[in-house]
Structure 1
Amino acid sequence: MVQNDGDTWSSDDTFRVLIASDIHLGHLENDAVRGEDSFIAFEEVLSLAVQYDVDLVLLGGDLFDHAKPSPSCMFKCTQILRKYCLGDKPVSVEVLSDQLDNFSRAVNYEDPNLNVSYPVLSIHGNHDDPVGQHGVSSLDILSISGLVNYFGRCSDYSRVRIAPVLLRKGRSRLALYGLSHIKDQRLARLFLEKKVEMELVDDSGEWFNMLVLHQNRADRGPHNFIPENVLPSFLDLVVWGHEHDSQVFAAKDVKRENENFLVVQPGSTVATSLAAGEALPKHCVLLQLHQKEYIVTPLPLKTVRPFIFKTVVLSEENLDQEDVNEKEKVQSLLTEKVNEAIKEAEILHSGDPKQPLLPLVRLSVFFQHEGQDFNRVRFCQNFNGLVANPKDILIMKREKKFRERKERIDESSDVDIGGAAAEAADVESLLRAYYAAQPAERRLAVLSVRAVTEAVRDFTLKRDDDVFRRVLDAHRQRAVDLLLQSSAETVDEVDEQLKTCKEALDAADEESLRTVIAAAATAAATATKAAAATKKSESILLSSDEEASPSTRARGRGARGGRTRARGRGAGRGARAVSPPAPAPVERRSTPRRSAAQKTSSWLQALTSERTTRRRRDSSDIEISDD
């Protein structure tokens, strides 16, 4: 057990907080080899909380890997929390602030119906943020069940107000500020506009001010991360979630005037991607706080699956480029590198019986020319049963100095999506890079790139299966409404109107874009329901502004019966039956509804046909003479 700072720190006045982040429960839970990794690491974190007899467990977001965790994932999480956090040990931390304001309910260890020994406080991250009806997060479910104290949620994105959770233990006072995940572009803009407010308790200096947030810390482009210098200077310590590489160093200090705060970045407890940062040792953190003095102690995790990441540059290896068997030499070299990585992983075995034995191995290989590339799937099959990720051991990339640079992109050429994927920080960045690399003739003409990337994000992280239909319906409805309101008649005019519509959506801020899409999607759904209702009613009754056809009127007036009566009279008089004269055609009245229908059907169909014919003519290499 970690001891206090000599005899000067009384245990009655010292906070002991275990800090972890990015647990990602349920990551690859259906994988036969790696499915239990996230749960094993989470159980070790909570076992360390019991071992060091902490007062609080603080989580920095992304407890779950998906916004809608599977029932099996939720069951295992609940099982682990109940095993380690419930008990009869009294909690000696007192909450001084308004608990309803902080947690939306009373803190769980003060609930007379629960016995909590190790209370868990958590914000949400981008993987477990509120989704669906009423914006319920998976943490809300754990909170209402009394297992987690969920705080730091923001409901007003036009101005963020952060009220601290005020905690007291003996003579030590802790003001804990929580800021759950907000999209980085939006939060960066709010900081820039001075619309993020953190309520300062007082200026007496008796409070230790700590912030836990879940945002990009590394620079991933303009306004796509949160710089440390925008955070208020009165903070003493910042716990930074979302970044997966562990950057925790032992520290013992007290903040002095005009000094910056200390940043603690616990990193993830499980490797969710085969990147270099994930191969660093995994930690959680023990924080000991006595009034304004603190000690930060990294606690290495011993049940994490070993991960070895290597970079191989073939131009720096001793390869004979003129050899006809160059591919075989490359494969032999990489086989040797993988075997070396497997041996290195054996050194990382901690001896803990729960630690998985099969290692993760990733080789990032830079090759010079196509003659050095080969069948990677067949190569990786040689390591089945030796590594935990036999399907994706290799990632092959062309060396930048040997990459072919074309002066122009041919219409038939493909975009180097592999290079874009290697440099992209997330799926949204990858999609934006892909569309930006397309030639002008192949870029999206109607759909907004931003709307598409947001839809992909919601589909992958929030499992919103209906998001693509809503976005496509909204764009189609908005384009049709714009064309009907415009005076466009030719194909070029229609193209210009659609281009203007797309540029307006791309230039709109995030809130305006979501509002426009929601309104257009609602209008599209209403139009679809109205069309279905009209079709159903027309199958039973005629429309009110349609005249019955002559044949319909004849059948309705008993035409068959009239012919029978005429035939009967003629037979009695010996006269030939005469057919009644055909009724004169009825002139159809022009109504506003009929005019709009004609414009939306024939006019738009003609434009669509003309655009299709024009595209086919442009793509053809055969010239047709006028005669």
Structure 2
Amino acid sequence: MPPIQNIEEGPDTIRILITTDNHVGYNENDLIRGDDGWKTFQEITYLAKTKDVDMILQSGDLFHVNKPSKKSIYHVMRSLRLNCLGDRPCELELLSDPSNLLDGGFNTVNYEDPNINVSVPVFAISGNHDDATGEGLLLPLDLLSVSGFINYFGKIPDNEKITVMPILLQKGKSKLALYGMNNVKDERLHRNFRDGEVTFLRPNVQTDQWFNLLALHQNHYQHSATSFLPESYLPSFLNFVLWGHEHECIPNPVYNPDTGFDTLQPGSSIATALSEGETAEKHVFILSIKEKEYSLEPIKLQTVRPFVMKEVSLMREGFVPGPASKNDISKFLVSEVEKLIEEANQQYRDSNPELFEDLEDDIQPEYPLPLVRLRVEYSGDYEVENARRFSNKFVGKIANVNDVLHCYKKKGNKYNQVSLIVLNDKKLGIDERDLAASVISKANIKDFLKDFLEESNMSIIPEEGIIDMTKKCIDQDDKQLISDYIENSIESSIKLLSKVDINFDDLEGDGDSRLAFKNVLNTFKREHDFKKLIDKEASKRLMPYNSKKSDELMEIDNEESGDTQAGKKTQTKARLSTRSTASKRKAAPKSSMAVDDHDDDSDHDAYQEDDSQVEVNEIDSEQDEEYEVPKKKQSTRKPTTKGTSRNLTSKTANGRNSKKTTESTCKRNVKKPQGSIIDDIMKLGR
């Protein structure tokens, strides 16, 4: 459905400011470009305030990393507080139950919270840069959501069977069904759609009167056979698709005749890669919806740093190959960069004419340092000045002082499919980190890693797990993932080894080998039993280290085989006796327990499924226990009960409580046997 020319503001018009890929925090350690992301985001929220929109819709990658700095979080929260909080009433009426769509335990959109004055609500999904990691699978949007600044929606708790539910909003006669899908690995999502494992639910009340809008964050173009989402996979009842992740700004919606909906690719709000796709002007959009019709107004961003790019060929320019023309080539390249700088300044003057209208003749206008990229094709025997040394000539004139020049040579017959795909990715504006992940999947680095790990003959840590963690480490820019995986794998192996029951008489080898293996296995089992007993005592809220329990620990730790030397027995008893004496002086910890209760009330009248059945799964009430060990006094905290959340739609439950064991708490208060083999292996793992 093509947009109409203009829809006037009114009581029946829903006005939405559309933005995506803000990448706040990108290159924030750069003295020149470090603040570009948050400054542009502040401009976007200011536009929402001055343009009197009803809401902001953000389609992923608000932050550049999934662990943004305090500086990035501060500026985002500051912008939201300045421009999105206020006394102006929000005219959007929420018709659906948000308990399964919005997380955080508040079960409502932020503008209906009586404790917060929200004038412009923000609805946001997560992208591939700010996705969930770590314990609890939290992401930056969770922090903004629980603090009341945004409404984070579009979560996909089950990647195998995906159910997409809309948030139903109404203003006057206009009804909006807002769908959202967080970023999913493209290959997996492609397979899910192909196999029919994705279900979209539709409102079954006045179904044809809803304007259906979908916000997603996936590859829009085919980078490989399955690493993208074809538009033909999306349901045809949609009216408008907001496509995040691609950085090239295409300011006009594109109609798909096969599916019948329009697709808008807003592009990023700042340039994160010096590529051809980033040279287009950056915009945000105001989408005006009146019943089933819509209009789109592009707004050019003023705070975006100018970016110009040019490509030259030394052979086409007529230079003679060889070292004799090196100086002439350098002079030519310098002049080309100077022209690009002037072009960037002219672009800034044209975009901001009001800044130059009242300037006197003797006042020099101020320009932001532009981004300049000169691509030089020097196939042949040409000699080109070092790119870093060349870039230093423009310090104080450009923002990217380290990489203004990019020299490359054309490939011949060996210009394979991988290189072609990578080149296309660069032209589309894929940033360096996304490109690195793309190259890994296409250049088959997985095979190289697999061969290397097979030669290493690792027996405890799975090879496939190391390969997957390496991929995630690059995708998420999280160096801790691999070390955490190794540590968890070692702990899991120790638990399995402690349960092994072996007949040592059946083992091959000499007596010393069997004895050594037997001693190692017994040590594993003793330490495992020691931990189990400590956990058991903590769970019963008893004195864990009184004389009686110390005797029990002595009995466990003194279980030795008949082959163990007597001197080792004496050393073990002395060490454990010391631990027993010290433990008697410790106070008994008391526990405080928090319980999450989930009431499952399903409202099957609000939605109907689209072309397929959806499996209904109840949310199981799970109990989270935390044990808090006081330093001086015993805790008197009482059990507390968190707020309830309801599952009011026919979809796979999306609430998951993570059980916490008492093991991590007890570890801080109990000394393990000295010379622990577990500690030695953990050191090797780290």
Q: TM-score normalised to the size of structure 1?
A: 0.70
From the superposition, tell whether residues 50 and 327 of structure 1 become closer, same or farther in structure 2 (CA, over 3 Å): same
Partner of 2:277: 277
Partner of 1:316: 316
Tell me the distance in 1 between the aligned counterparts of 2:526 and 2:441. Answer: 32
* CA offset digits 1:452-481 (Å, max 9, x no partner): 564344335545333223455688999999
Partner of 1:224: 227
From the superposition, tell whether residues 238 and 433 of structure 1 become closer, same or farther in structure 2 (CA, over 3 Å): closer
Native 8 Å contact 1:165 1:176 kept in 2: yes
Partner of 2:100: 101
Partner of 2:540: none
Q: Point out the more displaced range, 451-460 or 432-441.
A: 432-441
* CA offset digits 1:498-557 (Å, max 9, x no partner): xxxxxxxxxxxxxxxxxxxxxxxxxxxx89986999xxx9xx97953434379999xxxx
Tell me the distance in 2 between the aligned counterparts of 1:528 and 1:436. Answer: 42
Per the TM alignment, residue 289 of structure 1 is displaced from its structure 2 partner at its CA by 0.7
Partner of 1:570: none
Give the partner amino acid of 1:58. Answer: L
Query: Aligned with 1:166: secondary structure?
Result: strand
Per the TM alignment, residue 344 of structure 1 is displaced from its structure 2 partner at its CA by 0.7
Partner of 1:288: 288
Query: Aligned with 2:393: secondary structure?
Result: helix
Tell me the distance in 2 between the aligned counterparts of 1:439 and 1:155. Answer: 32
Tell me the distance in 2 between the aligned counterparts of 1:50 and 1:313. Answer: 47
Tell me the distance in 2 between the aligned counterparts of 1:391 and 1:532. Answer: 57
Per the TM alignment, residue 116 of structure 1 is displaced from its structure 2 partner at its CA by 0.8
Tell me the distance in 1 between the aligned counterparts of 2:158 and 2:470. Answer: 24
Per the TM alignment, residue 197 of structure 1 is displaced from its structure 2 partner at its CA by 0.5
Partner of 1:233: 236
Partner of 1:129: 131
Query: Aligned with 1:156: secondary structure?
Result: coil
Query: Does structure 1 residue 266 correspond to structure 2 residue 266?
Result: yes
Per the TM alignment, residue 451 of structure 1 is displaced from its structure 2 partner at its CA by 4.9
2:374 to 351, 363, 377: 363
Native 8 Å contact 1:303 1:356 kept in 2: no
Tell me the distance in 1 between the aligned counterparts of 2:241 and 2:415. Answer: 45
From the superposition, tell whether residues 531 and 231 of structure 1 become closer, same or farther in structure 2 (CA, over 3 Å): same
Query: Aligned with 2:241: secondary structure?
Result: strand
Partner of 2:325: 326
From the superposition, tell whether residues 341 and 442 of structure 1 become closer, same or farther in structure 2 (CA, over 3 Å): farther
From the superposition, tell whether residues 242 and 543 of structure 1 become closer, same or farther in structure 2 (CA, over 3 Å): same
Tell me which protein shows more helix as a share of its residues. Answer: 1
From the superposition, tell whether residues 450 and 283 of structure 1 become closer, same or farther in structure 2 (CA, over 3 Å): farther
Native 8 Å contact 1:446 1:475 kept in 2: no
Partner of 2:623: none
From the superposition, tell whether residues 551 and 184 of structure 1 become closer, same or farther in structure 2 (CA, over 3 Å): closer
Per the TM alignment, residue 436 of structure 1 is displaced from its structure 2 partner at its CA by 5.3
Query: Aligned with 2:47: secondary structure?
Result: helix
Per the TM alignment, residue 337 of structure 1 is displaced from its structure 2 partner at its CA by 1.6
* CA offset digits 1:146-170 (Å, max 9, x no partner): 1001100111111110110101000
RMSD between superposed Cα atoms in Å = 4.1
Native 8 Å contact 2:18 2:285 kept in 1: yes
* CA offset digits 1:405-448 (Å, max 9, x no partner): 9xxxxxxxxx9xx9999799622232345555999997653588
From the superposition, tell whether residues 541 and 12 of structure 1 become closer, same or farther in structure 2 (CA, over 3 Å): same
Native 8 Å contact 1:338 1:361 kept in 2: yes
Partner of 1:168: 170
Tell me the distance in 1 between the aligned counterparts of 2:221 and 2:52. Answer: 33
Give the partner amino acid of 1:245. Answer: E
Give the partner amino acid of 1:381. Answer: N
Partner of 1:377: 388
Per the TM alignment, residue 208 of structure 1 is displaced from its structure 2 partner at its CA by 0.6
Tell me the distance in 2 between the aligned counterparts of 1:528 and 1:148. Answer: 51
Per the TM alignment, residue 367 of structure 1 is displaced from its structure 2 partner at its CA by 1.6
Q: Which has the larger radius of gyration?
A: 1
Query: Aligned with 2:67: secondary structure?
Result: coil
Query: Aligned with 2:335: secondary structure?
Result: helix
Give the partner amino acid of 1:357. Answer: P
From the superposition, tell whether residues 18 and 440 of structure 1 become closer, same or farther in structure 2 (CA, over 3 Å): closer
Tell me the distance in 2 between the aligned counterparts of 1:206 and 1:421. Answer: 39
Q: Point out the more displaced range, 101-110 or 346-355.
A: 346-355
Native 8 Å contact 1:327 1:374 kept in 2: yes
Query: Aligned with 2:11: secondary structure?
Result: helix
Partner of 1:92: 91
Structure of greater relative contact order (alpha carbons < 8 Å, 6+ residues apart):
2
Native 8 Å contact 1:435 1:449 kept in 2: no
Structure 1 stretches lacking a partner, 5+ long: 406-414, 490-525, 554-627
Give the partner amino acid of 1:465. Answer: K
Tell me the distance in 1 between the aligned counterparts of 2:224 and 2:68. Answer: 31
Query: Aligned with 1:315: secondary structure?
Result: coil
Tell me the distance in 2 between the aligned counterparts of 1:208 and 1:115. Answer: 27
Per the TM alignment, residue 231 of structure 1 is displaced from its structure 2 partner at its CA by 0.3
Tell me the distance in 2 between the aligned counterparts of 1:41 and 1:404. Answer: 39
Native 8 Å contact 1:66 1:461 kept in 2: no
Native 8 Å contact 1:420 1:434 kept in 2: no
Native 8 Å contact 2:177 2:212 kept in 1: yes
From the superposition, tell whether residues 238 and 440 of structure 1 become closer, same or farther in structure 2 (CA, over 3 Å): closer
From the superposition, tell whether residues 441 and 421 of structure 1 become closer, same or farther in structure 2 (CA, over 3 Å): farther
* CA offset digits 1:472-503 (Å, max 9, x no partner): 56889999999x99xxx9xxxxxxxxxxxxxx
Partner of 2:439: 430
Per the TM alignment, residue 30 of structure 1 is displaced from its structure 2 partner at its CA by 1.5
From the superposition, tell whether residues 70 and 551 of structure 1 become closer, same or farther in structure 2 (CA, over 3 Å): closer
Native 8 Å contact 2:54 2:90 kept in 1: yes
Native 8 Å contact 2:323 2:383 kept in 1: no
Query: Does structure 1 residue 466 correspond to structure 2 residue 480?
Result: yes
Give the partner amino acid of 1:468. Answer: I
Query: Does structure 1 residue 214 correspond to structure 2 residue 212?
Result: no
Tell me the distance in 1 between the aligned counterparts of 2:415 and 2:161. Answer: 48
Partner of 1:303: 303
Query: Aligned with 1:142: secondary structure?
Result: helix
Per the TM alignment, residue 286 of structure 1 is displaced from its structure 2 partner at its CA by 0.7
Partner of 2:60: 61
Tell me the distance in 2 between the aligned counterparts of 1:458 and 1:33. Answer: 30
Per the TM alignment, residue 180 of structure 1 is displaced from its structure 2 partner at its CA by 0.9
Tell me the distance in 2 between the aligned counterparts of 1:128 and 1:122. Answer: 12
Per the TM alignment, residue 68 of structure 1 is displaced from its structure 2 partner at its CA by 1.0
Per the TM alignment, residue 314 of structure 1 is displaced from its structure 2 partner at its CA by 2.3
Native 8 Å contact 1:185 1:225 kept in 2: yes
Q: Identity over the aligned pairs, expressed in percent?
A: 34
Per the TM alignment, residue 283 of structure 1 is displaced from its structure 2 partner at its CA by 0.6
Native 8 Å contact 1:341 1:361 kept in 2: yes
From the superposition, tell whether residues 270 and 421 of structure 1 become closer, same or farther in structure 2 (CA, over 3 Å): closer
* CA offset digits 1:251-309 (Å, max 9, x no partner): 9x9x99x7621101111001111111111110111101110111011111111000112
Tell me the distance in 1 between the aligned counterparts of 2:131 and 2:568. Answer: 63
From the superposition, tell whether residues 57 and 438 of structure 1 become closer, same or farther in structure 2 (CA, over 3 Å): closer
Tell me the distance in 1 between the aligned counterparts of 2:526 and 2:342. Answer: 62
Tell me the distance in 1 between the aligned counterparts of 2:136 and 2:525. Answer: 25
Native 8 Å contact 1:342 1:361 kept in 2: yes
Tell me the distance in 2 between the aligned counterparts of 1:177 and 1:193. Answer: 21
* CA offset digits 1:321-379 (Å, max 9, x no partner): 2x542222322222122111101101121337799710001122222135434322211
Partner of 1:16: 15
Partner of 2:39: 40
Structure 2 stretches lacking a partner, 5+ long: 356-364, 457-461, 503-507, 509-523, 532-553, 571-686
Q: Point out the more displaced range, 263-272 or 461-470.
A: 461-470
Tell me the distance in 1 between the aligned counterparts of 2:153 and 2:159. Answer: 16
From the superposition, tell whether residues 90 and 355 of structure 1 become closer, same or farther in structure 2 (CA, over 3 Å): farther
